[in-house]
């Protein structure tokens, strides 16, 4: 009892005497650039509606619930509807911000931001936007939303199926930019949750310093269909690993509770986007359904990562475009009717998934954010409905806000036509206002562009990222212990280097060679294969996001137009073949001829060279299973991880090693661990009934 009392006194003393903790909680920094402020008893508040008095929603000393209720009571239907429609952020034209005045006047406050300038420019854009919104009738602030930014390559949502560029957003590793960590698959390959936590905390500071306060991420999807073009956004195929990483990321970005230092996360794509028929994506009609051919696969494999996200407190969930197909095997959920297991409408319209499963069964307390254009171009199963009817069906199902929806008028019309009650609108708007207030945006939405530059240019962050790059690299094969290339081995070595795809005038190869020479002068390079003693090739295939016939064969369809050159090099001299796995590529034609094989997942060339030279002992493990070849794809069950597929599914090297989930060698003992990544049964009680 004495110990408990002492601890309580210690905690209370810390809160009372620590001014940083106390000030942050009860006396936030209040910054107004357009509206006046009110000073009462030495405390500052914004007069956001310019009435000269302190309204409840302006009073940061009150509970968020009370503030939200007060603001809701003051909002017109048009203002509420505008908050629920999330448009794409357009470029600012000059100081007048012409394009955005129209959207602001339509009461839009959430914007999807996809540009990748320096953080100082993002910060300045945020500040201009916040000044415009502060100047409106109620002074409701804006929220800039982005997809993940701290990786070399991410995929932006496809918003116009007639366009073919800008779906891959390529980050820049240079001063003034966000710190670049390995791709999502690379973080998974590191198997280091402490490092994942460090990453989240670093990225969180960078995002908040630039004014980005909400993320469409991360993915809780499983990589169970190797042809799917969005596997590079996932954390692989293991439900346990994907669950652990998402839990860690949510806690890292958001904290235990949202506050003015948080980035609010939207976990996607509920209830799991990885089970794709022939890899076809639901951006297109050909792939507009999710099918689960294996009994119980939804609960066993695909839902656990979302359960972990709920337990971690993710702010919102983003359902996929697809609808659940009745060609699926039994999944243990209550049937839609006596003849159908599922209602075949997109998940954003599907009450059985959003309300019955997500909210009631799994206990989700946050809000549901539609995928971009999910009630417009990709309203699968509901395209026969009017826009107002789609809004009503989605809200009735459990949705709350609509991404890619520029015009709020269908939401307004749905209320006026009696399809939706204003109470439903209020519930959705309450979620958003709560998020804004918890993030501290009503008090101070502004950021310092110079400070943003200091944050992203922090050398300690770069060092942690460099470690993550090195820990993500997977050594797959190492014949006669060719690697590492220590100083003794390179003494008489002439190394031929080539990168694929070659690019214009071999630009990729030139850049790779320059990096090697600048980073490690001990290596002698040659431009002529005939005089080389060894070779190093780095192969980076890439899928076409818009392909309606996805493939993972390395060749022209994956941007590798000279595969025969790779094989020629491998057969001429002992070759270190490096393959960047944004998908589990079919490697049966190029892997056998190599002398050593390395897997990467969006890493820096310097990190690769540190592993090759032995400056870093490889520790990475495959986050997914490499299929044996085209015949393996024919037996792939699409909703089952590779480690639970037939044993013949896994690629086997000439050494006898199988390149399955969790495989990876080291230099010390060349560990041949290939154990299963099964998730266990700890979640089964959730689904007893």
What gap in Å lies between CA 595 and CA 536, rounded to an integer? Answer: 10
Yes or no: say if 372 and 159 are a contact pair by the CB < 8 Å rule.
yes
What are the backbone dihedrals phi and psi of residue 155, each rounded to the nearest 5 degrees, phi first?
A: -110, 125
Tokens of 607: 């990190």
Helix orientation angle between 64-74 and 422-438, rounded to the nearest 10 degrees = 130
Bridge partners for 268 per DSSP: 219, 318
The secondary structure of 649-689, three-state, reads HECECCCCCECCCCCCECCCCCCCCCCCCCCCCCCHHHHCC
CA dist 360 and 689 (Å) reads 13
What contacts 281, CB < 8 A, 6 or more positions away? 228, 229, 230, 287, 545, 550
CB atoms inside a 10 Å sphere around CB 508: 17
Written as one string, the DSSP assignment of 510-527 is: HHHHHHHHHH-TTPPEES
Q: Report the SS3 class of residue 599.
A: strand
- Per-residue burial over 11-29, b = 16 or more CB atoms within 10 Å of its CB, e = otherwise: eeeeeeeeeeeeeeeeebe
Q: Is residue 60 within 8 Å of residue 124, measured between CB atoms?
A: no
Strands 367-368 and 316-319, bridge-based pairing: parallel
Strands 316-319 and 110-112: unpaired
Strand partners for 170: 153
Q: Which of 371, 466, 644, 657 is catalytic?
A: 371
Helix (H) or strand (E) holding 58: none
Distance CA 231, CA 674 (A): 21
Q: State the DSSP code for 301.
A: I
Q: Is 371 a catalytic residue?
A: yes
DSSP 90: P
Tokens of 585: 């590529």
DSSP β-bridge partners for residue 321: none
Rounded Cα distance between 526 and 522, Å, is 13
Report which of 245, 297, 295, 299 is spatially closest to residue 275, judged by C-alpha positions: 297
Q: Is 450 left (phi over 0), alpha (psi -120 to 50) or beta?
A: alpha
Inter-residue contact 246 to 309 (CB < 8 Å): yes
Per DSSP bridges, beta strands 85-86 and 43-46 are: unpaired
Catalytic residues: 371
């Amino acid at each position: 009892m004495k110990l408990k009392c002492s601890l309580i006194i210690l905690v209370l003393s810390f809160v009372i005497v620590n001014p940083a903790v106390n000030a942050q909680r009860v006396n936030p920094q209040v910054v107004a650039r357009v509206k006046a402020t009110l000073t009462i008893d030495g405390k500052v508040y914004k007069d956001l509606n310019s009435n000269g008095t302190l309204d409840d929603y302006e009073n940061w000393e009150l509970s968020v619930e009370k503030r939200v209720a007060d603001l809701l009571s003051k909002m017109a239907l048009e203002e509420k509807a505008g908050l629920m429609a999330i448009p794409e952020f357009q470029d600012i034209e000059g100081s007048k911000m012409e394009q955005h005045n129209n959207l602001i006047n339509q009461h839009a406050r959430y914007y999807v931001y996809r540009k990748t300038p320096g953080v100082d420019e993002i910060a300045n854009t945020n500040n201009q936007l916040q000044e415009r919104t502060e100047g409106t009738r109620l002074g409701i602030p804006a929220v800039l939303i982005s997809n993940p930014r701290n990786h070399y390559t991410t995929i932006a949502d496809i918003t116009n199926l007639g366009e073919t560029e800008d779906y891959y957003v390529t980050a820049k590793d240079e001063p003034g930019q966000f710190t670049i960590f390995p791709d999502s698959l690379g973080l998974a390959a590191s198997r280091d949750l402490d490092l994942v936590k460090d990453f989240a905390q670093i990225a969180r500071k960078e995002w908040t310093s630039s004014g980005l306060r909400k993320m469409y991420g991360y993915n809780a999807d499983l990589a169970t269909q190797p042809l799917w073009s969005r596997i590079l956004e996932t954390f692989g195929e293991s439900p346990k690993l994907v669950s652990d990483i998402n839990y860690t990321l949510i806690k890292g970005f958001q904290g235990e509770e949202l506050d003015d230092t948080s980035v609010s996360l939207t976990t996607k794509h509920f209830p799991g986007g990885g089970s794709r028929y022939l890899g076809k994506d639901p951006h297109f009609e050909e792939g507009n359904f999710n099918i689960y051919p294996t009994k119980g696969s939804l609960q066993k494999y695909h839902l656990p990562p979302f359960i972990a996200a709920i337990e971690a407190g993710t702010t919102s969930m983003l359902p996929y475009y697809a609808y659940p197909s009745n060609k699926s095997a039994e999944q243990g959920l209550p049937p839609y009717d006596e003849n159908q297991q599922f209602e075949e409408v997109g998940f954003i319209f599907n009450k059985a998934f959003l309300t019955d499963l997500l909210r009631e069964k799994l206990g989700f307390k946050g809000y549901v954010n539609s995928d971009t254009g999910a009630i417009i171009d990709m309203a699968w199963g509901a395209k026969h409905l009017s826009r107002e009817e789609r809004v009503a069906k989605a809200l009735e199902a459990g949705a709350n806000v609509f991404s890619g929806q520029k015009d709020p008028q269908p939401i307004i019309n749905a209320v006026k036509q009696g399809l939706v009650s204003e109470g439903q609108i209020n519930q959705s708007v309450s979620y958003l206002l709560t998020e804004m207030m918890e993030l501290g945006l009503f008090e101070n939405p502004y950021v310092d562009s110079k400070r943003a530059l200091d944050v992203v240019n922090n050398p300690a962050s770069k060092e942690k990222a460099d470690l993550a790059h090195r820990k993500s690299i997977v050594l797959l094969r190492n014949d006669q212990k060719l690697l590492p290339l220590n100083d003794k081995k390179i003494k008489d070595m002439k190394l031929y280097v080539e990168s694929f795809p070659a690019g214009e005038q071999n630009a990729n190869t030139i850049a790779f060679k320059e990096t090697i020479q600048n980073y490690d002068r001990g290596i002698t390079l040659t431009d002529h294969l005939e005089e080389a003693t060894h070779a190093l090739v780095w192969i980076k295939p890439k899928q076409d996001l818009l392909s309606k016939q996805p493939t993972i064969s390395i060749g022209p369809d994956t941007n590798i137009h000279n595969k025969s050159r790779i094989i020629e090099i491998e057969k001429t001299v002992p070759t270190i073949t490096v393959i960047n796995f944004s998908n589990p590529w079919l490697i049966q034609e190029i892997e056998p001829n190599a002398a050593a094989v390395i897997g990467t997942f969006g890493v820096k060339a310097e990190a690769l060279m540190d592993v090759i030279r032995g400056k870093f002992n490889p520790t990475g493990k495959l986050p997914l299973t490499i299929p044996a070849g085209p015949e393996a794809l024919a037996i792939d069950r699409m909703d089952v991880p590779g480690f639970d597929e037939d044993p013949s599914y896994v690629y086997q090297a000439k050494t006898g090693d199988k390149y399955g989930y969790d495989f990876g060698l080291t230099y010390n003992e060349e560990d041949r661990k290939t154990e299963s990544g099964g998730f266990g049964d700890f979640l089964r009680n959730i689904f007893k009934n």
